[in-house]
Each structure stands twice: as structure tokens, then as C-alpha cells.
Amino acid sequence: MKTMKGPAIFLAQFAGDEAPFNDIDSIARWAADLGYKGVQIPSWDARLFDLATAAESQTYCDDLKGRLADAGIAITELSTHLQGQLVAVHPAYDEAFDGFAAPEVRGNPAARTEWAVGQMKMAAKASQKLGLTDHATFSGALVWPYMYPWPQRPAGLVETGFTELAKRWKPILDAFDEAGVNVCYEVHPGEDLHDGATVEMFLDKVDHHPRANILYDPSHFVLQQLDYLEYIDLYHERIKMFHVKDAEFNPTGRVGAYGGFQGWVDRAGRFRSLGDGQVDFGGIFSKLAGYDFEGWAVLEWECCLKHPEDGAAEGAPFIEAHIIRVTEKAFDDFADGGTDEAANRRMLGIS
């Protein structure tokens, strides 16, 4: 068995214009001081990372890794959540998602998609130069607006949507394959890949591409009331990344899974800081250890109540306490009688 790495922290929710959150060196030292050993870097945030340069310059990547190593920090993965979202956007969300794109392609869905695909391919090259094996992203969504079947969906609508989604992602997956890096889709409401069934549909459409994998985040399954422990049993071979994020689901006579268009505080399903929600992390870390998960345990802080800096400070020791240092021997090895084939046959009554 293998012991997972960690604790690490996703920097997207912490980057800002004030020190120590406004450059990669300062934020890495801040993370190290809290007890983190790794950082997951949002590739779209120019305050922390230059994706275009990293895709082309080994020197830039080596220098970045060296500076962070001096602070006691490893780069766990890069993230392209925002760019991956733009690989596939239903027209209903054109304006809402336009802000994720470069200014020159806003208002032009075709150009925006082309830009997003280019960003993904740069991320493959950058990940390779940084010596990374896994990459975090979103799948984007073409059929999400039709999630609830009313009015009745036309026959073939979902299949057509997933066929197109796969067509857009296949060249990206091939580029990551050339780079030796897994694409790990965060399975997330709002994305076409939001549960197990949709992951299976996508895998069928991309011919079970070896680089099409999963970023496992149990908080999104709590909000869907999906069995997040059985999910590991079903898809552990594809789970290559792990966001450690807590959540709770407390339905009332007023709001349930859909949230009633309420803000996060007033929804039945809410994201919480680690330890403040309902996720069975003991069960999750045990399952992942049993399946030899060897990636990073990465805090993604999102909470509707607690201050992010408090959530970050509490997150490192929480993850550290849950990482299972796997055993190299069986607990009853002291009673081992050795191996004797003749004795085994006699015990079984085999002549």
C-alpha cells in the first residue's frame, strides 16, 4: 500500500492583491508556515503564475520549483478550472462565463472555445516541464441546462451533447497524453461531468481515454445526496486527485437540494470548513488508502461562514491527522507459521 501526500492547499480562493497573497513566493511561505507541504496553483492568476511562459520555458519552471522548494513547498498540480469551463459553454451561460476568457475573445463563443483549447494544451506542456503527473480542470457543459427532464428532453439530446463534448476534449486529452499528464475533471454540479453516470457517458465517448480521470471532491456529492464512499469503490481506478472539502446538507420544509435560489447561508446544501460539515473523512481517507491512492490531499477552502485564513490554519492539521501512514506488515505477523506446502495439503485433506 501507499501513503498519500499532504497536506497541500489550492491557492485559488486565497490569491489577492494584498501581501502575502499577491505573489507566489509570499503565498508559498504563508502556506508553509501553516504546515502545508504543497500548493495547487491556479494557472489563470497572473499574480501567481505565467502559463504561457511556463509552457515554453524550462528555465522558468525550474526556477519556480526551486524557489518554492526553498520555502519547503512542492507544486502538487496546476489548475485550469476556468479555462476548462470554456471548452464547452451552453449559450445560456455565454455572458456569465465570458469574464473567464481573455478580453480579445469575449463576445465571440467560437474564438473563446479556441482560446480555451489553446490554454489547455499550454497547461499540458507546463505540467510536463514542472514534472507533474496530474492536472485539475472542469469539463464545461453543453447539456447541464437540461439536467431536470421538464420539458421532456428530445430523444438524443444528451447523446448529441456528450458526443460534442468528447469531440472537443479528445485533442486535449491526446496533448496531455503526449505530455505524460492525467486530466482530472472535478466532478461538480454545473458541469456535464457531475456524478458517476455522466463520467461513464463521457468515458464511453472518448473511448475510455487513459488520460481522462477524476478529481474527487466529496463536498459536491453531499450536496447531490450521492454516496461518496461507494463512489470511491466504483471509480477508484480513475481517481487521481483529491480535494479535501467539507459540506453539509440540512433540508427543511422550505429548501432542499435545489436551494430555492437562496444565498449560500440559506441553502440546505452548504460548503463548510474542514471539520464543520458532515463529510466522513475517516471513511474517505481509509478507502483511498485501501485503494493505494498516492496523490496529494489538497485543501480546497470554501465556507459560507468561516474566514478563509481561519479555514486554512485549521486545514493543515486536519488533513495531517487524517492521512494514514500505511502499514508495511500485517498486524498478526507475530503469529506467522511460515510456508510449508506439504503441511498446507495435509491441513486441507489433500493427498
| Domain limits, the chain | 5-347
CA-only gyration radius of the chain, Å: 22
CA dist 125 and 267 (Å) reads 40
φ/ψ of residue 54, rounded to 5: -60, -35
Q: How far is CA 293 from the centre of its chain?
A: 14
Say if residues 245 and 271 touch (Cβ distance below 8 Å). yes
State residue 330's pLDDT score: 65
Q: Is the peptide bond before 20 cis (omega within 30 degrees of 0)?
A: yes
Confidence of residue 334 (pLDDT cuts 50, 70, 90): low
What mean pLDDT comes out for the span 5-29?
Answer: 98
Percent of the chain with pLDDT over 90: 93
State residue 335's pLDDT score: 57
Taking the whole predicted model, whether its pTM rises above 0.85 is answered as yes
* 139-184: pLDDT as tens digits: 999 999 999 999 999 999 999 999 999 999 999 999 999 999 999 9
Going by C-alpha positions, the residue among 2, 75, 78 that lies closest to residue 37 is 75
Say if residues 132 and 183 touch (Cβ distance below 8 Å). no
- Strand-pairing partners, residue 212, are 183
> Could you tell me the three cell numbers for 113?
472555445
What mean pLDDT comes out for the span 39-50?
Answer: 98
Among the residue ranges 90-104, 279-293, 326-340, the one predicted with the least confidence is 326-340
What mean pLDDT comes out for the span 111-125?
Answer: 98
State residue 331's pLDDT score: 62
**Helix axes 281-290 and 308-322, enclosed angle (nearest 10):** 50
Q: If you ran DSSP here, which 8-state letter would residue 253 be given?
A: S
CA dist 117 and 32 (Å) reads 33
Among the residue ranges 33-37, 84-88, 253-257, 335-339, the one predicted with the least confidence is 335-339
Higher pLDDT, 237 or 332: 237
Among the residue ranges 143-152, 204-213, 329-338, the one predicted with the least confidence is 329-338
Q: If you ran DSSP here, which 8-state letter would residue 141 be given?
A: B
> Could you tell me the three cell numbers for 171?
485533442
Say if residues 40 and 76 touch (Cβ distance below 8 Å). yes
What mean pLDDT comes out for the span 207-216?
Answer: 98
The kind and range of the H/E element at 190 are: none
Say if residues 311 and 301 touch (Cβ distance below 8 Å). yes
CA dist 186 and 159 (Å) reads 21
State residue 333's pLDDT score: 61
Percent of the chain with pLDDT over 70: 98
Task: Tell me the Ramachandran region of residue 225: left when phi exceeds 0, alpha when psi lies from -120 to 50, beta otherwise.
Answer: left
The pLDDT mean for the chain works out to: 96
Q: Which fold has domain 5-347?
A: TIM Barrel (3.20.20)
14: CB partners within 8 A, 6+ apart? 21, 27, 301, 308, 312
